[in-house]
Amino acid sequence: MNRSTSKIQPAMMATYRKKWAGLIFMMAVGLLLTACSKEKEKPANVPQPKCLEYIRQDKSVTLLAKALERLQLDGDILYQQASPTTIFAPTDAAFTSAGLDRAAIERMDTDSLRRLVYAHVLQGRLGSGTVAGFFKLNAICLNKGYQPVLSRNYYGIFLNGNRSQEINELGDGIVHKINGVAFPGDRTLWETIRTHEQLGMLTAAIEMTDVLGSQFRESIKEALTKGDLQPGPYDNTVLAPTDAAFKALGYETVDDLRGISVAELGLLMDSHILSGNQYTADFIGGALFIGRGIKEYQSAPNGLEFSTSRNITHPRIIQSNIKASNGVLHLVDQIILP
């Protein structure tokens, strides 16, 4: 290395250091200016809209908004005193699926509409950020004398088994959009079954087994008649085969059922009854549950199908979470064989 080269290298190094120092300084200034500009772009701290305002403006819950308009909920003292509240808002699709379009809501008498809507309005802020852990509890709603079942598991938050699809934190509470209507269920399981248009054969079969009741064991009809609006020890869940399910197995009329002995028919009906309030939310992910006939069933991950020991194909729930005053009813597409 000659002397001229050795003199040039320190000079070049000094130049490089100055350039790098200048570049780093400019980057730091840029970051500072960027940070300042982002801070200035933040919106002002304005109040959140209230629950009823949000519902009136949302295009996916217009049928609920119509019901609230009829009831004038914003002027209801009971609602005002309950604040903050959590409203589980069925979407328009949920109302329509339940047979409640705009005309039906307008025709419904005020007391019935109030019982239905108030069953969806719970006291307190009940959201994913305010209630921790998994639970299943009887909640307090505006519908006095009735307690809906609020639950939370790995798959979300549910009201009477109806899943919350969207949670909105608002100024005076929380609004959940749910995928079903959580009917309060003011009739017993037996009344619900015998008045359902698709359960005529099931009604007849249960009535035929009523003679099996004794001092040691109540009949199925007695078990489905007990209970009140408060969830309690007499609650049951019925997997109710439709008339079409009976027909698929060769039982087209009530007279066809008379060919089965009462004892066998009793065992058959026992296979369709579970203890407690069991919603589809409890079946999601795969759960083991036991029927009144001491039969074990395994639900599928979707919570709508389940395996049994004798059915070749899996029975499927085709209409779910029908609330009664003393339990829950699910319509199924097959008779569950004992």
Locate 40 and state its tokens: 């200035």
What's domain 189-332's superfamily in CATH?
A: FAS1 domain (2.30.180.10)
Q: Is the pLDDT of residue 200 over 50?
A: yes
pLDDT at 18 over 70: no
* Mean pLDDT for the stretch of residues 296-300: 89
Residue-wise pLDDT for 279-288, tens only, equals 999 999 998 8
Q: What is the pLDDT of residues 205-236, one digit of tens each?
A: 999 998 876 545 788 999 899 865 555 666 89
Rg of the Cα atoms in the chain: 30
Residue 33: what pLDDT? 39
Comparing 3 with 158, the larger pLDDT belongs to 158
Among residues of the chain, what percentage have pLDDT more than 90? 66
Domains 51-178 and 189-332 belong to one CATH topology: yes
Q: What is the pLDDT of residue 129?
A: 83
For 136-203, give the DSSP string. Answer: EEEPPBSSTT--PEEEEETTEEEETTEEEEEEEEETTEEEEEESS------S-HHHHHHT-TT-HHHH
CA terminus-to-terminus distance, the chain: 99
Q: What is 51-178's CATH number?
A: 2.30.180.10
Q: Please list, in sequence order, all residues whose beta carbon lies within 8 angstroms of the beta carbon of residue 2, skipping any fewer than 6 positions away.
A: none
The model's pLDDT over 88-127, given as tens digits with 9 standing for 90+, comes to: 999 999 999 999 999 999 999 999 999 999 999 999 999 9
- Distance between CA atoms of residues 141 and 85, nearest Å: 9
| Cβ-based neighbours of 212, under 8 Å, separated by 6 or more | 219, 220, 262, 263, 266
What percentage of the chain exceeds 70 in pLDDT? 82
Domain boundaries, the chain: 51-178, 189-332
pLDDT score, position 41: 44
Query: Region 34-44: what's the mean pLDDT?
Result: 40
Query: Furthest-apart CA pair in the chain: how many Å?
Result: 118
pLDDT (0 to 100) of residue 47: 75
Residues 14-36 have a mean pLDDT of 48
Q: Alpha-carbon distance 338 to 265, whole Å?
A: 10
3-class DSSP state of 231 = coil
